[in-house]
């Protein structure tokens, strides 16, 4: 199945992608580079929403494995995603891109509450909407939040920006025999345990036939290429 160009997408970024080479926190240079690329896409007239993880600040699942209560740890992780969302909003607005942050956890002083119809209206007006605080529930990842929000706003695809140029049979940094896979089905990802998104997110996308495109965020211009339908990265879709 050939790629198509997209008019409304959800871009999923890991928290680590904002950290640049420092590995933790927020690197302003990296943030500004991503913001410039998003501006180019918005200038094409594409409606774009964002979900950003919080792993550069706090990983709930890692803390719970060391004895912290899982629900408390997950709420802390959700708050970390709001910090990243506000940082990205600032970077985008410096580029002249009108942006709204909507949080699944109420904090009206810094973000709008998540209201689906309002989010849709912002997108129609050409604003970038950043969905913070995951789904607002513990035990759900930001991958699942991305799948859920993408379906709620009727996005045509989820774009998952990573540090590699697609999905491989093994970790290409560790295994020189690893082969890049250009196309996968949802079932392939679930059966082979490939690190695309977690199983809940993949199942949601499969049930609603929402394509996921995994691509290299670190190469400049790639967001625009994916949106134009160029065959880069790996596409996960139905059989």
Per-residue pLDDT tens for 46-94? 999 999 999 999 988 888 889 999 999 999 999 999 999 999 999 999 9
CATH match for 8-237 among 3.10.129.10, 2.20.25.570, 3.40.1160.10, 3.40.50.300: 3.40.1160.10
Averaged pLDDT score across all residues of the chain:
94
Decide if pLDDT at 1 tops 70. Answer: no
As given in the structure block, the two tokens for residue 8 are 């409304």
122-141 CB burial, b ≥16 within 10 A, e <16: bbeeebbbbbbbbbbebebb
Domain coordinates in residue numbering, the chain: 8-237
Give 235's Cβ-side CA count (13 Å radius). 18
- Give mean pLDDT, residues 90-101: 98
Specify the residue for token string 């045509």: 156
- Give mean pLDDT, residues 173-187: 92
- Give mean pLDDT, residues 37-49: 97
Residue 23: pLDDT band (50, 70, 90) is confident
**% of the chain with per-residue pLDDT over 70:** 99
- When computed from its CA atoms, the radius of gyration of the chain, rounded to whole angstroms, is 17
pLDDT at res. 18:
95
In whole angstroms, give the CA distance from residue 143 to residue 205: 11
pLDDT at res. 2:
57
């Amino acid at each position: 199945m050939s790629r198509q160009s997209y008019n409304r997408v959800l871009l999923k970024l890991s928290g680590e992608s904002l950290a640049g080479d420092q590995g933790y926190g927020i690197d302003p240079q990296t943030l500004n580079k991503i913001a410039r690329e998003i501006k180019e896409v918005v200038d094409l007239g594409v409606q774009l929403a964002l979900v950003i993880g919080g792993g550069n600040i706090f990983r709930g699942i890692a803390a719970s494995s060391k004895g912290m209560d899982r629900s408390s740890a997950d709420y802390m992780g959700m708050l970390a995603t709001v910090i990243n969302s506000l940082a990205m909003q600032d970077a985008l607005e410096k580029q002249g891109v009108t942006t709204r942050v909507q949080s699944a956890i109420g904090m009206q002083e810094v973000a709008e509450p998540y209201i689906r119809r309002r989010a849709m209206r912002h997108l129609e007006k050409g604003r970038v909407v950043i969905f913070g605080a995951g789904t607002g529930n513990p035990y759900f990842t930001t991958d699942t939040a991305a799948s859920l929000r993408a379906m709620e706003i009727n996005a045509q695809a989820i774009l998952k920006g990573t540090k590699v140029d697609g999905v491989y049979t093994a970790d290409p940094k560790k295994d020189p025999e690893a082969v890049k896979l250009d196309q996968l089905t949802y079932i392939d990802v679930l059966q082979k345990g490939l690190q695309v998104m977690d199983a809940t997110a993949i199942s949601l996308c499969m049930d609603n036939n929402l394509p996921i495109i995994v691509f290299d965020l670190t190469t400049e211009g790639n967001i625009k290429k994916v949106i134009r339908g160029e065959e880069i990265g790996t596409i996960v879709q139905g059989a």
